[in-house]
Amino acid sequence: MDGCHPDSVVVSKCMEFRIRPTIEQKILIWKTFGCCRFVWNHLLDERISHEKVNKGKLLNTTPAHLKKDNPFLSEVDSMALCNVQLNLNQACRRLFPKGRAPKFRAKGKDKRSYTTNWINNNIEIVHKSDIENYIKLPKLGRVRIILHRSIPDEWRMKHATIKETASGKFFISLTFDVEIRPKEPMKEFDKVEAFDYSLPSLVVSASGENDITSDDIRWYRNLENRIAKEQRKLSRMQYGSRNYWEQKHKIGKLHEKARNRRKDFLHKLSRKVSDSFDAVVVEDINLQHMSQALNFGKSVYDNGYGLLRNMLAYKLEEQGEVLVKVDRFFPSSKRCSVCHEVNHDLKLSDRQWTCPSCGTHHDRDKNSCKNLLDEGKDILNRWTGGDSSLILAPSGVLSGKKLHPQARYNVRQDGE
């Protein structure tokens, strides 16, 4: 990039705002969702037939030829259709070599969103008064936007995604290119906290002050039970009937409530932790693999351990602090935190154990947290000592792992 400071990097940041389209604008947004689905299905059909004859050569047709026979496509934002083509190509390139194909999109089950790009100020925030703001969007014109926080002037808009939630609210998520000069991280980390993922207590902290227990998220379980109950009601209703859609709406609202509450809870916790500690250590576990391997099911996702890690990373980074990720093969639970002997016989069901080597009695979670803390402190020491095998990503994550080139530039503002 030109004019860039030599030390600076460009990261993308994302902000989401509520929008309040008028009924005419809503209709056009719904039409755009429909046209995106139409283009996806038609182009996919063409690509699949082409693939059968010309193995390995991807057909790269644009939505333009569809417009001749289907003039309604010209009514909606052409950039949205263009992005469908790009996404489809990407999916085909990934799946065709494996002998698979992307799925066709069905009405009613499709994701309700579309993405458009910023070109020559086609998307612009228009301030009318302190409380009345609009966003200018292609084809839609000015849409009322609730600017709950201001957008820094130097952020350059890249693209915008307009979406409708299950409860019928509209949001716009804006992605920006932001030039940042990575903050010089502090050189001394006096106060370090460690988090370990554990069941049934969810998340255990080394200090013991920031544990998340099932009591903390009881409200979440309650909501979940209510969702399950409403879902059972839905299953007895006739698909497509008026009651059916009303019930679906209701369930969508409950899901949103659960998501918002969880986010809010984790935001508060991560704020508290990043304010009172200089660095936080977590284990670099792959949550997806973990839920499959140990059959924990969705509870792994429920407590949002991954979400918490992301929120911690960017909140720490803002203050020149770091999130340390310990390699997933580090035997945090099987190692004795006193004599460092690894107990290979330890089973997942053993909540308490005695070290065969030094005789110390351990609480499984506390021991594993202590190990993570020690390992994390060791990593921090090596890093401040100049160990070049450790990398601090712009997202504030310190680890020994080589980062995917794309991952370095993917810092999310809202933590999700």
| Total Cβ atoms within 10 A of residue 368 | 25
Query: How far does CA 352 lie from the centroid of its chain?
Result: 35
Compute the half-sphere exposure of residue 337: CA atoms within 13 Å on the CB side of its CA. Answer: 19
By CB under 5 A, tell whether 339 contacts Zn ion. yes
Rule CB under 5 A: choose which of 123, 192, 254, 336 binds Zn ion. 336
Contact (CB, 8 A) for 194 and 205: yes
By CB under 5 A, tell whether 338 contacts Zn ion. yes
By CB under 5 A, tell whether 355 contacts Zn ion. yes
- 146, two tokens: 């609730």
Minimal distance, residue 331 CB to Zn ion, in Å: 13
Omega cis (within 30) before 200: yes
| Total Cβ atoms within 10 A of residue 303 | 22
Name the residue nearer to Zn ion (CB basis): 25 or 343.
343
Name the residue nearer to Zn ion (CB basis): 157 or 338.
338
Residue 39's nearest CA partner among 74, 2, 15 is: 74
Stretch that binds Zn ion, among 100-108, 119-127, 240-248, 348-356 (CB under 5 A): 348-356
Minimal distance, residue 158 CB to Zn ion, in Å: 53
DSSP string, 189-213: ---EEEEEEETTTEEEESSSSS-B-
Going by C-beta distance under 8 Å and a sequence separation of 6 or more, which residues neighbour residue 194?
Answer: 205, 206, 280, 281, 282, 369, 370, 372, 373, 376
Rule CB under 5 A: choose which of 181, 233, 358, 387 binds Zn ion. 358
Minimal distance, residue 342 CB to Zn ion, in Å: 10
Minimal distance, residue 343 CB to Zn ion, in Å: 8
By CB under 5 A, tell whether 346 contacts Zn ion. no
Name the residue nearer to Zn ion (CB basis): 211 or 374.
374
Name the residue nearer to Zn ion (CB basis): 86 or 339.
339
By CB under 5 A, tell whether 342 contacts Zn ion. no
Minimal distance, residue 196 CB to Zn ion, in Å: 18
Query: Binding residues for Zn ion, per CB under 5 A?
Result: 336, 338-339, 341, 355, 357-358
